[in-house]
Amino acid sequence: MQDISSSDIPSKKHYNILKNAIHYSEIYDMIEKKESLTKIEEWVNKLNEYLEQYLRENSEEWPKSNANKRCRDFNYTFNFLLQKLKDENAYSDSYSNFEGNINNYAKIHLQTYSENCERTKNVNTYYYNDEDENRKNVDDFCEDATFINSNITKINSSPYCQVIKVNIEQDHEVLDAKVGTDKEKYTDTLKFYGFSTFDSLKDIIQKINCNTYNDAPMGDEEDNPDGIGQLSGHQVSIVVILSLLGILCICFFLYKTTPFGPWLNILLRKKKKIFGITSLTKVPGKCQKIYMKIKI
């Protein structure tokens, strides 16, 4: 049985698959840097291919996780990008074309690969605002909390339990700070998952007690980004011993194969001579040290 790690938490796992497929960071960075219209247009034209491949490879997996959530993520993503394009004056003359092409590509491929997902946006003139951002954060957290609740026994016995616990607690703090006193606005999103209040989410977090501690497999940095529980005391001792042996081997190699060896021998002989020729010479009435100079 494979251990559950932080990379298995569904909201980030599936959202990253989508963003990687459509080269999200590429278009986001271009808008941030106010790149030329030509570059934006190139990405929009490639989006047709990106979406076809993404939905062909992943749409059958949607029902296995949460098809409705995957659809909402899809629409959240393109609503956000379109709002970002719309807010940038440098693209105002071409925005209508970009908007039309992006929405058409999305509609066509959703019709082909997904029966229950449609391209949607807000009923208002905007595509994405702060309330939409908060709603997505609530949606993400509810999905993760549901996954944790369903797999709580496996998570508590996983070597990555502490990482998962820290991450979900941090996500909850961020969500609580953003939503604040407006929690009533997002109760409809809670109902997607069968939650009645935000306190229900906190109750699930408290179930994570990491009751069995195991050493996380070495080298799995992606699953253990915070480095919690990576090495036991026994492993640390082995690493220290191997490091010391490695240093000794390197020193011996340098001594035998480089000018370092002869130089060290000469230096040691010089020190021996210096200490060996220091003597006490008797002089009438007193004793004094005579240090003889050595010609090098």
Q: Output the pTM of the full model.
A: 0.71
Distance CA 11, CA 137 (A): 10
Task: Report whether 42 contacts 48 (CB < 8 A).
Answer: no
**pLDDT (0 to 100) of residue 285:** 44
**pLDDT (0 to 100) of residue 141:** 98
Distance CA 161, CA 228 (A): 9
Widest Cα–Cα separation across the chain: 115
Three state DSSP letters for 217-246: CCCCCCCCCCCCCCCCHHHHHHHHHHHHHH
**pLDDT (0 to 100) of residue 115:** 83
**pLDDT (0 to 100) of residue 26:** 98
Distance CA 51, CA 88 (A): 24
**pLDDT (0 to 100) of residue 2:** 85
Distance CA 132, CA 144 (A): 18
Task: Report whether 67 contacts 12 (CB < 8 A).
Answer: no
**pLDDT (0 to 100) of residue 211:** 83
Task: Report whether 255 contacts 264 (CB < 8 A).
Answer: yes
Three state DSSP letters for the chain: CCCCCHHHCHHHHHHHHHHHHCCHHHHHHHHHCCCCHHHHHHHHHHHHHHHHHHHHHHHHHHHHHCHHHHHHHHHHHHHHHHHHHHHCHHHCCCHHHHHHHHHHHHHHHHHHHCCCCCCCCCCCCCCCCHHHHHHHHHHHHHHHHHHHHHCHHHHHCCCCHHHHHHHHHHHHHHHHHHHCCCHHHHHHHHHCCCCCCCHHHHHHHCCCCCCCCCCCCCCCCCCCCCCCCCCCHHHHHHHHHHHHHHHHHHHHHHHHHCCHHHHHHHHHHHHHHHHHCCEEEEECCEEEEECCCCCC
**pLDDT (0 to 100) of residue 236:** 38
Distance CA 67, CA 83 (A): 24
- Token pair belonging to 240: 């220290």
Q: Which of 76, 65, 51 is nearest to 127 (CA)?
A: 76
Question: For the stretch 150-160, what's the b/e string if a residue is b when 16 or more beta carbons lie within 10 angstroms of its beta carbon?
Answer: eeeeebbbbbb
Q: Where are the domains of the chain?
A: 6-205, 233-290
**pLDDT (0 to 100) of residue 122:** 72
Per-residue pLDDT of the chain in tens (296 residues, 90 and over written 9):
689 999 999 999 999 999 999 999 999 999 999 999 999 999 999 999 999 999 999 999 999 989 999 999 999 999 999 999 999 999 999 999 999 999 999 999 999 998 899 999 876 667 899 999 999 999 999 999 999 999 999 999 999 999 999 999 999 999 999 998 899 999 999 999 999 999 999 999 999 999 865 545 544 444 443 333 333 444 434 444 545 666 665 655 555 666 655 655 665 555 444 444 344 334 344 433 333 333 33
